[in-house]
Chain A
Amino acid sequence: MTHSAVVVGGNRTPFAKAGGPFAEASNHDLLTSALDGLVARYGLAGQRIGEVAAGAVLKHSRDFNLTREAVLSSPLSPATPACDLQQACGTGLETTIYIANKIRLGQIDSGIAGGVDSTSDAPIVVSDPLRRTLLKANAARSTKDRIAPFARVRPRHLKPQAPSVAEPRTGLSMGEHQALTTERWGITRDEQDEIAAASHHKLAAAWEDGFFDDLVTPYMGVARDAILRPDTTIEKLAALRPAFGGPDGTMTAGNSTALSDGAATALLANEDWAREHHLPVLARFVDAEVAAVDHPGGDDLLLGPIAAAGRLLARQGLTLDDFALIEIHEAFASTVATTLKAWDDEDYCRSLGLDSKLGTIDRAKLNVTGSSLAAGHPFAATGARIVPTLAKLLQQKGPGSKGLISMCAAGGQGVVAILEAV
């Protein structure tokens, strides 16, 4: 027995640059705020929801039960269970898949998927030698034994370690990886700056239209995405110095996402349950696929979503032409450009085990209200930003309209999902 899982709506905080207005807010604070706004929008105060699944990429060890604790801080019934889930930048979409699947199996009638990241409030850890010393001292029985381990501590051990966004197996940062991909696929600086400028302009227009009035709730006095630059131009972006790929690199701070703070949530439900509870039914969750590439073996780190999309479309018997709207997460402008190029590359697609290339798309269908370059990218939150946004856009397009979400994630992974307006 399978049920229909639908997106009811969503809520997120505005997103802001790391060290900006949300610098003092923790993951717990941000996620709770996003839940508060969601509860208020749909009148869920005191209600028990089937399950809340959310996660954070940068997480303090004290936040082992981050989502459950946020639920307890929210107006939801304390009888609402929660779990933490993490799949790097794909987290917010993976939590959506998790909740939707439980709804489709009839295990729950309603659920909230979400994600949060505070790069401002990132955990700082001590070096491994110092950590081992502290653990040893803690386990010692006598004062002497407690003091002895510290004799081996050296000044260099005292340097705190901030989390890095480097891939553990290659030692390269995500930007350095993508710089290799950008060069390999021959993506030009112009193309990247064009994508970045368009992202800002489309997001700004959507804010002006009031599109986000029922998708975002202000937080700490910030009412709109703080990274957004409505007046940016291709010319201004062209003046920026390269940030990745050496002096001749084409990737800049303007066409790469900024480290961000923010949280996002999506309310999902069994379609019948949503109607019985007089909640909006924006779009049905159709299907999803996750894939991975061998980046330590030399594959492009952020092209994991290509195989995921190919396998998903094949399973559903769909082509790119069947989609009214397409959301490609803008980790970098060049991620979008390479994804589009890879979709249309017969050899590359076949090398992934797909029957054929996926083809091309009408650019007018792509990221129509902007994406991560303009909004910002609090890692785990982005998927839960895109899901309600796309669901609302599809509903406006009319019943049957389909949308595709493609998200790249660290570890060479890709998460892809399909929504369809009801």
Chain B
Amino acid sequence: MSILEKAFYSPVGKAVSAKAGLKEPARLRRGRTWPEGPIVLASIGGGTVGAQTLELLGRAAESPIVDDGDAAPGYGARIGALVVDATEVTRIDQLEELRALLRPAVRAVEGSGRIVVLARPAAGDWESRSVARALDGINRTVAKELRKGATATLIRVAPDATPGDLVSSLGFVLQGRAAYVTGQCWTVAPGGVAVESLAETPLDGHVVVVTGAARGIGAAIARTLARDGASVVAVDIPPAGEQLAAVANEVGGTALQLDITAADAGATIAAHVAQRGESIHAIVHNAGITRDKMLVNTDAARWSSVLDVNLAAQLRINEVLLDPATEGGLADGGRIVGIASTSGIAGNKGQTNYAASKAGVAGLVTAMAPDLVDRGITVNAVAPGFIETEMTGKIPFVQREMFRRANSLDQGGKPVDVAETIGYLIDPDSQGVTGQVIRVCGQALVGQ
């Protein structure tokens, strides 16, 4: 730790920075935990999917306080979450009803509380489509105005999606697992799987392959998925074998020392899984490298190594694992998750190669998803923002502190936040979630 960094985190430094307007970041609620206060449910226009989903989640719902425009409205006590079923909202004047629900709730929501709006994907006439987009603007703004680690999320529920299809998504958002996901919007389509409740260990009996599992985010993914019941195949390059073995032993999984850029990487993974008489439920393409330089200094080697590890290797491995003839390949109903990045979404100085690879991952999942719906295989990506890891710990202190705070939650995320989002995506009950890129970035100021 540098002298500057020590001074900054000393009691004196903290007092000075508080005076200067720097807020002490909130401690986020994490894990499979529910909001402490009551969950308030409101419906605009008579939609019922929200109510039915909360019932499947086994969460009692209270009635909302509505701002009638006269007296300053109040709940009197903190609320844990507000869930607004806006699936029947298609007119501009209905947005006023949303405002009247949000105003008291934003004031009353607890630390790490939740504002969740359920809406439809844009469809219908001009006004309806416009309103669908307006909800996005509201969600992103509410997320910025919320305090103490509370978050806002907009989930678009396809018209024929059932409450069962929505269970894993609403459960994820309300629980502490979504701690660092805010201001985001994604879609839940019909999954065709009967879901009755939220599973505690949804990955029981499922094999999950995690690349780059020896440390940082990869190790957190292995731990989190093992907690959710997965049998983890931890993959990393041979030189990282010692840490890899420690992770595999900790989670009771197996270690596979492998360079994912090898031509036979996919076959080696499949053979490892087939040997154990299993097939793969999910593969998490977490392995990635950076070779940062300004574009004017980026040579072919820096370019190709990043694109090969971060993008091309995934394509090659997916191709082998998706071949139905591959023993130990990806089972129908399986999951593929890639790791995109805010750098790929917003661009980042000195990272043309990295941004290319990470935006490429986002492009890949949106391209693959529709082609694999018939086999029940979902393909998604998470896009981490600033995550506290050994790698980001090497960024010079002042710059790191800036990155850390350049988001709505005033702090960096933890590896487990990325891992939890992946756990949600590969949950067998998240069948209707595919082709999505979910940012785990605390609503970073950059990007969409």
Contact = CB atoms under 8 A, between A and B. Distances in A.
B238 A223 contact: yes
Interface stretch (B157-165, B249-257, B310-318): B249-257
A213 B241 CA distance: 9
A36 B258 contact: no
B245 A213 contact: no
B21 interface: no
Given A210-B259, A217-B245, A43 B238 contact: no
Interface string A268-292: 0000000000111000000000000
Given A40-B255, A45-B252, A219-B242, A210 B275 contact: no
A43 B252 contact: yes
Contact of B254 (A42, A46, A218): A42
B242 A218 contact: yes
A78 to B, nearest CB: 14
A37 B241 CA distance: 8
B355 to A, nearest CB: 30
A39 interface: yes
Contacts of A210: 238, 259, 262
User: Which has the most chain A C-beta neighbours within 10 Å: B239, B240, B245, B259?
Assistant: B245
Given A45-B249, A217-B242, 18 more contacts: A33-B242, A36-B245, A36-B246, A36-B249, A37-B245, A37-B255, A40-B249, A41-B255, A43-B248, A210-B238, A212-B238, A213-B238, A214-B256, A216-B238, A217-B257, A218-B238, A219-B242, A278-B276
Contact of A280 (B253, B262, B275): B275
A328 B257 CA distance: 28
Contacts of A212: 238
A75 interface: yes
B69 interface: no
18 contacts: A39-B245, A40-B234, A40-B245, A40-B248, A40-B254, A40-B255, A41-B255, A42-B254, A43-B231, A43-B253, A75-B249, A210-B259, A217-B242, A217-B255, A218-B238, A220-B242, A223-B239, A278-B278
A346 B231 CA distance: 58
A76 to B, nearest CB: 10
Contacts, number: 69
B362 interface: no
Contacts of B447: none
B259 A218 contact: no
Contacts of B252: 43, 45-46
A36 B243 CA distance: 10
A37 B254 CA distance: 10
Interface residues of B, number: 26
B245 to A, nearest CB: 4
Interface string A150-185: 000000000000000000000000000000000000
A213 B257 contact: yes
A222 to B, nearest CB: 9
Could you say which interface size class chain A belongs to?
Answer: 20 to 34
A26 to B, nearest CB: 17
User: Which has the most chain B C-beta neighbours within 10 Å: A36, A213, A216?
Assistant: A213
Interface in B267-311: 275-278
B300 to A, nearest CB: 23
Interface string A55-88: 0000000000000000000010000000000000
Nearest to B234: A40
B244 interface: yes
A95 B216 CA distance: 38
Interface in A28-54: 33, 36-37, 39-43, 45-46
B182 to A, nearest CB: 37
Interface string A309-340: 00000000000000000000000000000000
A41 B278 CA distance: 16
A301 B231 CA distance: 51
User: Which has the most chain A C-beta neighbours within 10 Å: B238, B240, B275, B277?
Assistant: B238
Interface of B: 231, 234, 238-242, 244-246, 248-250, 252-259, 262, 275-278
Contacts of A36: 245-246, 249
A217 B262 CA distance: 19
Nearest to A37: B245
Contacts of B238: 210, 212-213, 216, 218, 223
Contacts of B240: 218
A218 B276 contact: no
A408 to B, nearest CB: 31
B239 to A, nearest CB: 4
Contacts of A46: 252
B234 to A, nearest CB: 8
A339 B254 CA distance: 40
A43 B239 CA distance: 20
A22 to B, nearest CB: 13
B246 A214 contact: no
A278 B275 CA distance: 6
A39 B241 CA distance: 13
Contacts of B255: 37, 40-41, 217
Contacts of A280: 275
A289 B258 CA distance: 37
A16 to B, nearest CB: 14
User: Which has the most chain B C-beta neighbours within 10 Å: A39, A40, A280?
Assistant: A40
Nearest to B243: A218
A55 B19 CA distance: 64
A68 B90 CA distance: 71
A280 B275 CA distance: 7
B239 A218 contact: yes
Contacts of B262: 210
Nearest to A47: B252
B249 A39 contact: yes
B258 A213 contact: yes
Nearest to A221: B242
A70 to B, nearest CB: 14
A37 B214 CA distance: 13
A279 B241 CA distance: 20
Given A36-B246, A75-B249, A223-B239, A214 B257 contact: yes
Nearest to A38: B245
A257 to B, nearest CB: 25
Please name the 10 residue pairs, one residue from A and one from B, whose CB atoms are nearest each other, closest first: A40-B245, A40-B255, A40-B248, A43-B254, A223-B239, A75-B249, A278-B277, A217-B241, A278-B276, A218-B241
B264 to A, nearest CB: 9
B67 to A, nearest CB: 56
Contacts of A41: 245, 254-256
Nearest to B271: A280
B338 to A, nearest CB: 24
A223 B249 contact: no
Contacts of B257: 213-214, 217
Nearest to A223: B239
A213 B269 CA distance: 13
A228 B264 CA distance: 26
Contacts of B276: 43, 278
Nearest to B272: A214
